[in-house]
Amino acid sequence: MARFIFITGGVVSSLGKGLASAALGSLLQARGFTVRLRKLDPYLNVDPGTMSPFEHGEVFVTDDGAETDLDLGHYERFTGVPACKTDSVSSGRIYSDVLEKERKGDYLGKTIQVIPHVTNEIKDFIRIGEDDVDFMLCEIGGTVGDIEGLPFFEAIRQFSHDKPRGQCIFMHLTLLPYLAASGELKTKPTQHSVKELQSIGIAPDILVCRSEQPIPEKEREKIALFCNVRKEAVVPAYDLKSIYEAPLAYHREGLDQAVLDAFNISPAPRPDLGIWQDVADRIHHTEGEINVAIVGKYTQLEDAYKSIKEALTHGGMANRVKVNVDWVDAEVFDTEDPAPHLEGFHAILVPGGFGERGTEGKIKAAEFARTRKIPYLGICLGMQMAVIEAARNLARMEDAGSEEFDFEAGKKRFTPVVYHLKEWVQGNHTVSRKVTDDKGGTMRLGAYDAVLKDDSKVAEIYGTTRIEERHRHRYEVDLRFQKALEEKGLIFSGMSPDGRLPEIVEVEDHPWYIGVQFHPELKSKPFAPHPLFADFVRAAVDVSRLV
């Protein structure tokens, strides 16, 4: 039966609870334990699938088709444990399930209340799979005191009492602000945050304190005294050059030992940190650098492309180079020559996205990369833009476009090279969708197989002709145009097993030009870089040596 670690946050948001949770999970793995990480989000959306990336960053998709918080990406990247639907839940999902049960009469006519019905639903969610791992780490989104988070805090308080003594602990992440005027670290915000947590019946066992300055011993003693925790359980968390230094940094500060002590696990298994030492070595000892342009529409918020940024970093580790990423707003050259904005880059990546805004700029970026022989990786919409560009400029379909923006914008005449995906095979059944369907959860989501051409570039990169990758899209390249495009050099090198859906395209007379309908970035890890990103960075390194 699993031991449970509940991770909460205070003072301010974005302190790094997800990163701390992921790093702790990796440290417990290094000591030989099995782990699973979960995110409990208080927002009322059922999931982040319909939320703007400006609101919540990227949507991380699991193999089983769940649209989840980006923190699950951290969990996977640090532990290698594939996330699933039961690893993410929101208030919206909890309330939706409670109301559905009420409508069915499952509560036998009782008055439905937050306590016990909503809290019981949360506890039932936390229990899923508890017999499968040694440790279950559950991160509560937001900060203590948020009104929408109160049912979750009450649920984990109850949960800890339901379990035998010593099976649950609480880890609280806070901020120690530094006041330059007085030259002091202030502990009072942490004290108030812990007091707020204690007021709802939760006493933290471990405090993780974010700080830009070293925390003096006397300040750790003060925090321990006023917050009623052991001094050894006050763990500093300093800013790092790379997030992938976090496991080693937290180990140096004693976080994993503090957790094992809280559970009275003694003697503690010795950790094997070889993987993370190798990762740190690749971060700090590079043999060059490359510049990659990400041409997108959400460039004002880097978290919108979090997994892509990290996958490029992993590709850099595989090649021992530093990857410098520049975020280029596709709208800037919707009506301009892209050359002034893209010259000097060693590679260009066009990521996924939705809607018409910035699409002409992305098409121009694809053309620039194709004609200038610059490595190009198009992901999801980025692949569709590459196909539309080839249709317009190679196959002479000047009005080539997509139903996603041309039809919905009311354009009367265009060639729908990209169309609304009406049906596809999922497992043993066919899924059908209409344009008028709800937006949330109605896309082709999750892991699907693809079959690669034997002599293709991608088959060489993957080292196999059968792959499985994660998808999130509702539009697809129309196979009616395959012959015309292949005659001009755009090869359909990856297809769904039934041969009905294009998965990968590549330009045959180009050093590296690949578009994929799936999201390879979601499966990349620092200790196991995705082969597409590793080879994409390798191709960019080759270009940098020619400059």
Instruction: Kindly report which listed range (8-12, 47-51, 431-435) carries the lowest average pLDDT score.
Output: 431-435
Give CATH 3.40.50.300 domain extents, the chain.
3-279
pLDDT higher than 60, residue 430: no
- What's the pLDDT score for residue 442? 64
Average of pLDDT values for 130-159? 95
Dump pLDDT digits (tens) for 403-429: 877 555 445 557 888 877 654 455 554
Name the residue type at position 232: E
% residues pLDDT > 70 (the chain):
92
| Mean of all residue pLDDT scores within the chain | 90
Q: Taking Cα atoms as reference points, which of 473, 530, 522 lies closest to residue 496?
A: 473
For 511-547, the DSSP string reads: SSEEEESS-GGGG-BTTB--HHHHHHHHHHHHHHHH-
pLDDT tops 90 at residue 205: yes
Quick one: pLDDT band at residue 452, thresholds 50, 70, 90? Answer: very high
The token pair that represents 217 in the structure block: 């011993």
pLDDT tens, position by position, 289-325: 999 999 987 666 677 889 999 999 999 999 999 999 9
Q: What is the pLDDT of residues 214-255, one digit of tens each?
A: 999 999 999 999 999 999 999 999 999 999 999 999 999 999
Torsion from C-alpha of 340, 342, 343, 345, nearest 10 degrees: 150
Output 459 or 353, whichever has higher pLDDT: 459
CB-based burial, 270-286: b 16+ in 10 Å, e otherwise? ebebebbeebbebbeee
Residue 382 has pLDDT above 90, yes or no: yes
Q: How far is CA 311 from CA 116, 152, 307, 354, in A?
A: 43, 32, 6, 21
Residue entry with tokens 């609870």: 17
Architecture of the structural domain at 3-279 = 3-Layer(aba) Sandwich (3.40)
Which pLDDT score, from 0 to 100, does residue 407 have?
Answer: 54
The residues assigned a catalytic role are 380, 519, 521
Cβ atoms 256, 24 nearer than 8 A: yes
Mean pLDDT across 361-375: 95
pTM for the model: 0.91
Q: Which residues pair with 168 in a beta bridge?
A: 4
457 Cβ neighbours under 8 A, 6+ residues apart:
493, 506, 512, 514
Whether residue 501 contacts residue 511, with contact meaning beta carbons closer than 8 Å, is answered with no
Asked whether the predicted pLDDT for residue 182 surpasses 90, the reply is no
- Ranges 1-10, 374-383, 473-482, 517-526: which has the least confidence: 473-482
Instruction: Report the alpha-carbon distance of residue 56 to residue 9 in Å, rounded.
Output: 17
Range name among 184-198, 293-307, 382-396 with the lowest pLDDT average: 293-307
Residue that the structure tokens 């503090």 belong to:
258
Domain 287-546 matching CATH 3.40.50.880: the answer reads: yes
Q: What angle do CA 104, 108, 111 make, to 5 degrees?
A: 100
Which residues of the chain does CATH 3.40.50.880 include? Answer: 287-546
Length of the chain: 547
